């Protein structure tokens, strides 16, 4: 009807269908393939076997003909033994094949093979052969003209296959004995001549140490014909068309003598299959498709191009790559280079698996066998390709169109920002210090040499006051909503390692920085720890550990906290500041035990609130309360005592009273004090602490200090310089670092809520420094910016009706959420208490009153508690004590099912256990960009 002259069936199933070939010829068309009767004779494996035996060509011992009864199969196996292979008589492509290694397997394997053959080919007959272990699969390309002339175009090694489907093909076979090759080629031609073969076909053999065995002839062109074309220089499809048009081999000037091999060729089939998931086909849209090219690289393409949609309804092969070279090694290297050059994104492919195959020593030696892939599990170790260029372009495109979407910005970033300049560091003689050289020894060297207990005592015996620099954690958490990137810390890290070599520690991890890194910065907190640890080997790293809450906002099973501390220690944390937001000793004890098990330095911490110098105004948190609490912690065999003044409430007089009393009672205990400078009295308070016997003081680099951050490092160092309290840190070194952080803070001005000066109202509302900044931003985001004073007043009221809490994350979040709830709903404290039974409170408030954070000092206000939690369960005692151990193995299985085998590290399990939703969003972001 369309005036066609011929039909070329390709290499699909119709190419081996004799009835279809007859109908084509009956319609007056040329059939580009063997004669229908030849397809009948050779397309059936049993008939082809009979032809081979008639020609004297060796075959694998097998049944005399097709069988469909289990009894016949059992008879053959009894005579020839196991293993055997059951094959579909009318099949190909691996369908209807089963290897049977014992009599017990025969029954079920026979039925499965018959059923599969019937479904795939419409014929359930099978035959059985002796199975050869580790044979090579060699096939010979044949060409006949139907007039008596038959030639071979040499052999191909198709041994690299999976479930009888070829994966890589090589021509000629790189490690085949010459005598065996000649015998195989001669036998292939003998069979083709016997049936007066017409057109292209392939004779297939198995080769083992005992010889070669004919298995079948494929009466069609094959997928891998390209490698033969590359080594012979002949166009097989063109020759097929000429022969179908009536040309003979002599007409085409082709004879066996004129066929010469030129080097080697390898073909790889690039498919949208995921080898790590059992070669499961993938579907989707191809977002990037960039193919290789050049001399010796041939591409036979299909459905692969940018924008194409890969569906489950068609073959998964995208393209065939054929690479040739003068030697097998040159062809192999060219193929590897081509696969590396290939870029496909949007769907999974098997290219990483092909690269592993091509790089395997067995493949390089040409010694692969037919089950090599199944026998080599190391091939399935996933190689990750990050596709960085495409992901970066996608990210930049999103940034250009949608702008920066990192939450927490209070203004638009300036347009003329520059990357900060790294300052020069000078030694005492005014010579430039090479920060690329190894830094001088520091306190971490003492810790690594002596262990935590001896380290703590060395700190206590040190004559001056030691500094902990909070710039890398609490300072930017308090001033810039915790948005400081790892990149900006990395750039100054080598200089810091030299300038702060005498520092007690750098606080750089834990607390809010953990989840914010993933949630807002799209960074991995564990990577931050690893990268900074490598750059600062001499100064201890300190992290903030929320006791039984780890770095989260709720309680976790005990094994999560223990595993977290173990991994943190292994990745570089040295000192663990263990605190509890309610000073609840049972929660503290769990954290202390976990740090001890990890061999970290235990800094058990008392959270400070109230005013010990004014017990009449603050009767709950008296000096006696704190001393009793310290006694309980010391009894737990801690290394260092921390005093954590989150709101900056520790006035100079109170500092002398508290630190002096602790020092008198515990003269050998190292004391470490932390405060915030919200009220502006921080430097004076820290000097008072040092004079009263504190060993370590928390400070921040000048331009990152003050207001809600820590007191100014430069001011404190100058205040004690030359005295018995001298810090050993040079003012010039601080000034050099400060020049960097002055510039860096400008980069983050869009996250700075604009707290410009001290606020002594903190002595009333007692809001922690970091929370002060965050609440101000949240109030502005919720349209309550003009009511900031109302928020502070509500915070005071919320704290009062909760029973006057120790306010540290996460208890401070409870009070903050409560305060915003009151302001948004125009409620006073008394109105909340009166209407508590009918109000819908924030989740954090309800969970606090249930007991999810532990037990507050003095207990809960029970009447309000009952009204808020109503029928919700109460938790008495330590919340985590009743939790079942966390199943990390199941979590790994779940995450690898979602993100890919081998993609989840031990530390990723902890991130997901602590913050499941945040980790999921982080992984999705990382995978996309």
Hey, which residues are catalytic here?
A: 220
H or E stretch at 280: strand 280-281
Measured from the Cβ of residue 395, the count of other Cβ atoms closer than 10 Å reads: 14
One DSSP character per residue, 753-812 reads ----S--TTHHHH---HHHHHHHHHHHHHTT-GGGHHHHHHHHHHHHHHHTS----TTHH
- 206 backbone dihedrals φ, ψ, rounded to 5°: -110, 140
CB-hemisphere CA count at 13 Å for 404? 16
One DSSP character per residue, 400-462 reads HHH----TT-SSPPPTT--PPPPPP-B-TTSPBP-TTSPPPP-HHHHHHHH-HHHHHHHHHH-
H or E stretch at 731: helix 731-747
Q: In terms of Cα–Cα distance, which of 545, 561, 587, 553 is closest to 878?
A: 587
Measured in whole angstroms, the distance separating CA 238 from the mean position of its chain's CA atoms is 49
Q: Which two tokens stand for residue 87?
A: 């094959």
- 266 backbone dihedrals φ, ψ, rounded to 5°: -130, 135
Give me the count of residues in the chain: 929
Please state at what angle helix 525-535 crosses helix 486-499, rounded to 10 degrees.
30
One DSSP character per residue, 685-713 reads HHHHHHHHT-SEEEEB-GGG-SBTSPPBH
- 502 backbone dihedrals φ, ψ, rounded to 5°: -95, 10
**What is the distance between the alpha carbons of residues 733 and 496, in angstroms, rounded to a whole number?**
9
Q: Which two tokens stand for residue 562?
A: 């223990």
Beta partners for residue 86, in sequence order: 98, 128
Beta partners for residue 6, in sequence order: 30
Query: Burial code of 873-906, b = ≥16 C-beta within 10 A, e = fewer?
Result: eebeebbbeeeeebebeebbeebeeebbeeebee
**What is the distance between the alpha carbons of residues 195 and 44, in angstroms, rounded to a whole number?**
14
**What is the distance between the alpha carbons of residues 327 and 741, in angstroms, rounded to a whole number?**
59
Cα distance from N-terminal residue to C-terminal residue, the chain = 53
Sheet holding 211-218, edge to edge: 211-218, 198-208, 136-145, 150-162, 165-171, 264-271, 317-325, 297-301
**What is the distance between the alpha carbons of residues 34 and 72, in angstroms, rounded to a whole number?**
33
**What is the distance between the alpha carbons of residues 831 and 850, in angstroms, rounded to a whole number?**
21
**What is the distance between the alpha carbons of residues 202 and 217, in angstroms, rounded to a whole number?**
5
CA dihedral 799, 800, 805, 807 (to 10 degrees): 30
Let me know: does 137 contact 224? Beta carbons within 8 Å: no
**What is the distance between the alpha carbons of residues 278 and 494, in angstroms, rounded to a whole number?**
46
**What is the distance between the alpha carbons of residues 791 and 800, in angstroms, rounded to a whole number?**
14
Q: Which DSSP state fits 67?
A: B
**What is the distance between the alpha carbons of residues 560 and 554, in angstroms, rounded to a whole number?**
12
Q: Which two tokens stand for residue 627?
A: 């001393």
């Amino acid at each position: 009807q369309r005036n066609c002259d011929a039909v070329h069936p390709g290499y699909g199933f119709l190419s081996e269908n004799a009835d279809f070939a007859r109908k084509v010829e009956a319609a007056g068309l040329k059939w580009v393939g063997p004669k229908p009767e030849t397809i009948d004779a050779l397309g059936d494996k049993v008939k082809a076997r009979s032809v081979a035996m008639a020609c004297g060509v060796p075959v694998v011992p097998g049944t005399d003909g097709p069988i469909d009864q289990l009894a016949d199969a059992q008879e053959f196996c009894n005579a020839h033994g196991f293993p055997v292979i059951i094959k579909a008589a009318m099949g190909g492509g691996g369908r209807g094949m089963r290897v049977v290694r014992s009599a017990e397997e025969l029954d079920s394997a026979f039925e499965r093979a018959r059923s599969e053959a019937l479904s795939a080919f419409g014929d359930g007959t099978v035959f059985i052969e002796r199975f050869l272990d580790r044979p090579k699969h060699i096939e010979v390309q044949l060409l006949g003209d139907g007039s008596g002339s038959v030639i071979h175009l040499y052999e191909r090694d198709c041994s690299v296959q999976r479930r009888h489907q070829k994966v890589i093909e090589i021509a000629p076979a790189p490690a085949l004995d010459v005598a065996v090759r000649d015998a195989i080629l001669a036998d292939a031609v003998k069979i083709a001549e016997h049936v007066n073969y017409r057109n292209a076909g392939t004779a297939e053999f198995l080769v083992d140490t005992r010889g070669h065995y004919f298995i079948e002839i494929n009466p069609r062109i094959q997928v891998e014909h390209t490698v033969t074309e590359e080594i012979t220089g002949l166009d097989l499809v063109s020759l097929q068309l000429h022969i179908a048009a009536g040309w003979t081999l002599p007409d085409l000037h082709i004879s066996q003598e004129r066929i010469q091999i030129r080097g080697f060729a390898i073909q790889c089939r690039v498919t949208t299959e995921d080898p790590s998931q059992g070669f499961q086909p993938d579907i989707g849209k191809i977002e990037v498709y960039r193919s290789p090219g050049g001399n010796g690289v041939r591409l036979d393409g299909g459905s692969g191009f940018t924008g194409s949609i890969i569906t489950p309804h068609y073959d998964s092969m995208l393209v065939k790559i054929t690479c040739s070279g003068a030697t097998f090694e040159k062809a192999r290297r060219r193929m590897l280079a081509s696969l590396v050059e290939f870029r496909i994104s949007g769907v999974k492919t098997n290219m990483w698996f092909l690269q592993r195959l091509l790089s395997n020593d067995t493949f390089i030696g040409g010694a692969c066998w037919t089950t090599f892939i199944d026998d080599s599990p190391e091939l399935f170790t996933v190689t990750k390709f990050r596709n960085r260029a495409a992901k970066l372009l996608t990210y930049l495109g999103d940034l250009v169109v949608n702008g920066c979407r990192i939450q927490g910005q209070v203004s638009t970033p300036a347009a003329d920002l520059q990357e900060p300049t790294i300052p020069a560091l000078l030694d005492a003689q005014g010579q430039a210090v090479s920060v690329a050289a190894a830094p001088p020894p520091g306190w971490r060297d003492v810790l690594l040499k002596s262990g935590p207990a001896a380290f703590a005592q060395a700190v206590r015996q040190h004559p001056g006051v030691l500094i902990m620099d909070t710039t890398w954690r609490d300072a930017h958490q308090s001033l810039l909503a915790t948005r400081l990137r790892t990149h900006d810390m990395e750039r100054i890290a080598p200089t810091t390692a030299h300038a702060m070599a005498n520092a007690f520690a750098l606080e750089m991890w834990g607390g809010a920085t953990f989840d914010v890194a993933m949630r807002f910065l799209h960074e991995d907190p564990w990577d931050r720890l690893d990268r900074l640890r490598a750059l600062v080997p001499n100064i201890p790293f300190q992290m903030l550990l929320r006791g039984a809450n780890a770095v989260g906002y709720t309680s976790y099973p005990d094994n999560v906290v223990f595993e977290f501390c173990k991994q943190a220690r292994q990745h570089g944390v040295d000192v663990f500041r263990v605190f509890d937001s309610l000073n609840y000793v049972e929660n503290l004890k769990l954290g202390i035990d976990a740090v001890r098990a990890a061999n970290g330095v235990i800094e058990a911490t008392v959270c400070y609130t109230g005013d010990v110098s004014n017990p009449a105004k603050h009767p709950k948190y008296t000096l006696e309360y704190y001393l009793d609490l310290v006694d309980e912690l010391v009894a737990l065999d801690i290394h260092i005592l921390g005093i954590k003044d989150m709101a900056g409430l520790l006035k100079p007089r109170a500092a002398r009273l508290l630190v002096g009393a602790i020092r008198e009672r515990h003269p050998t205990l190292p004391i470490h004090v932390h405060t915030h400078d919200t009220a502006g009295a921080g430097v004076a308070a820290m000097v008072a602490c040092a004079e009263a016997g504190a060993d370590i003081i928390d400070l921040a680099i000048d331009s990152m200090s003050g207001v809600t951050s820590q007191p100014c490092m430069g001011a404190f160092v100058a205040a004690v310089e030359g005295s018995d309290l001298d810090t050993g840190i040079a003012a010039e070194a601080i000034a050099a670092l400060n020049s960097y952080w002055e510039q860096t803070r400008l980069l983050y001005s869009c996250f700075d809520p604009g707290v410009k000066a001290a606020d002594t109202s903190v002595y009333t509302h007692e809001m922690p420094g970091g929370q002060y900044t965050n609440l101000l931003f949240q109030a502005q985001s919720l349209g309550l910016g003009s009511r900031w004073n109302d928020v502070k007043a509500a915070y005071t009221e919320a704290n009062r009706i909760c029973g006057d809490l120790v306010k540290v994350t996460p208890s401070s979040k409870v009070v903050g959420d409560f305060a915003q709830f009151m302001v948004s709903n125009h409620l006073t404290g008394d109105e909340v208490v009166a209407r508590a039974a009918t109000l819908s409170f924030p989740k954090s408030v309800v969970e606090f009153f249930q007991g999810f954070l532990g037990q507050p000092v003095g207990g809960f206000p029970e009447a309000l508690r009952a009204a808020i939690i109503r029928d919700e369960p109460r938790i008495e005692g330590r919340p985590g004590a009743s939790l079942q151990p966390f199943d990390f193995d199941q979590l790994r299985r779940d995450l690898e099912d979602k993100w890919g085998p081998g993609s989840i590290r031990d530390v990723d399990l902890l991130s997901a256990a602590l913050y499941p939703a945040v980790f999921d969003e982080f992984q999705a972001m990382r995978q996309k960009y």
